[in-house]
Amino acid sequence: MTAEPIVVWSEAITEYDFGPSHPLTPRRFGPGIELMRGVGATRFLEPPIATDEELRRLHQARYIRQVRSFSDDAWQPAAMGIGTADCPSFHGMHEASARVAGGSITSVRQVLAGAADHVFDPGGGLHHAMADRASGFCIYNDVALAVAEARDAGHRVLYVDLDVHHGDGTQALFWDDPQVLTLSIHETGRSLFPGTGDLDEAGGPDARGSAVNVPLEAYTGDTGWLAALDTVLPALAETFQPTFLVTQHGCDSHAFDPLAHLRITTRAYARATRLLDQVAHTWCEGRWVATGGGGYDAYRVVPRSWALVWLAQAHREIPDETPLAWRERWTDEATRFGQSPLPVQLLDPPDLAARERPEVVDRARRTAERALEQTTRLLEG
């Protein structure tokens, strides 16, 4: 099938909003969605609000009740990870969070129904949420719910998490599930939230080898990050033989991002998204749902990262430049938030990446090799 990929999005997604001083800002959707349209996206689908029954597939009933309680009355003491600095409560937070979840679930249903091979849900990717706890800006784990939807339709699901932070919530929710393999490539927990994601986290007793972690040191840069991904991803897909691909495209690994230190550029994102497209077609008959994720440079980074996901899913060439009209539209706002000038090139200049030292690139590749060896041994053993 060659139908245009579907983008799951509506203005209501911007209601997922922790307030003006929180780093995860819905302001990213304005320039983000408009740049996707600018590079050619025309096919959009509104995300529905997930039902409690759908949320209960992975979240505990008492947690959903707690989120609903905060949703009605935001002024209560912190509980179950909500009301904290990372996840402040806000009026309507249940509906807003359940809509993000509904977007990711519906993305999988679109693929299962044959409406498109590839679907992108830029508002999704809230990978830190646990069964009974909010964490790291995430209330309901929409992307894990997407994985569960595909799994319960009988698929073997490969989950690839590119966010700079370890995909701890998704890993925990499928820890002992041999039908789901979670791969997270991230900045090491020694220097970054949530502190987990070490090599030795490999899955529960009934699913040894089904969690794969590639922790990278700060300032790894494009070459090391891509070497790690190239080492682990195609080989892992061959060993696990997935039939459905779900991916998380947090772009907080970027050199401009204020919260982390991997110093990746959009050049590496472009290569990564093409690699994922190949995995989808080689193993999954094209079945691929991508989500957004972290990303706190809302103007210079997030829109280009999303556009590159869409371009890979649409099998289109990457244009050299961002549209002039897009830059003109968002320059004032970007300047107001200290994120200008808006990039002219879709792909960053190579010198934006970390000054890459060969030994760092080597260590990244070796970490990926160790992760792969361990997983292969556990899956085949």
Residues with active-site annotation: 128
| Residues linked to residue 159 through DSSP beta bridges, in sequence order | 182, 246
Residue with nearest beta carbon to Zn ion: 294
Question: How far apart are CB 377 and Zn ion at their closest, in Å?
Answer: 30
Nearer to Zn ion, 165 or 327 (CB): 165
163 touches Zn ion (CB under 5 A): yes
Interface with Zn ion (CB under 5 A), residue from 47, 203, 294, 343: 294
Give the angle 270-274-278 at the CA atoms, nearest 5°.
Answer: 170
Calculate the CA dihedral of residues 182, 188, 190, 196 and round it to 10 degrees. -10
Nearer to Zn ion, 175 or 288 (CB): 288
Cβ atoms within 10 Å, residue 343: 20
Q: How many helices (H) and strands (E) does the chain have?
A: 11, 8
Calculate the CA dihedral of residues 49, 55, 60, 63 and round it to 10 degrees. -10
Nearer to Zn ion, 27 or 165 (CB): 165
CA contacts within 13 A on the Cβ side of 303? 30
Closest CA to 175 of 139, 193, 201: 201
Question: How far apart are CB 276 and Zn ion at their closest, in Å?
Answer: 9
For residue 233, give the amino acid letter.
L
Nearer to Zn ion, 221 or 294 (CB): 294
165 touches Zn ion (CB under 5 A): yes
244-283 residues near Zn ion, rule: CB under 5 A: 250, 252, 277
Q: List the x/- string, 197-236, binding to Zn ion by CB under 5 A.
A: ----------------------------------------
> Residue count at the site for Zn ion (CB under 5 A)?
6
The CA distance from 353 to 366, in Å, is: 20
168 touches Zn ion (CB under 5 A): no
Question: How far apart are CB 169 and Zn ion at their closest, in Å?
Answer: 11
Note the residues at the interface with Zn ion (CB under 5 A): 163, 165, 250, 252, 277, 294
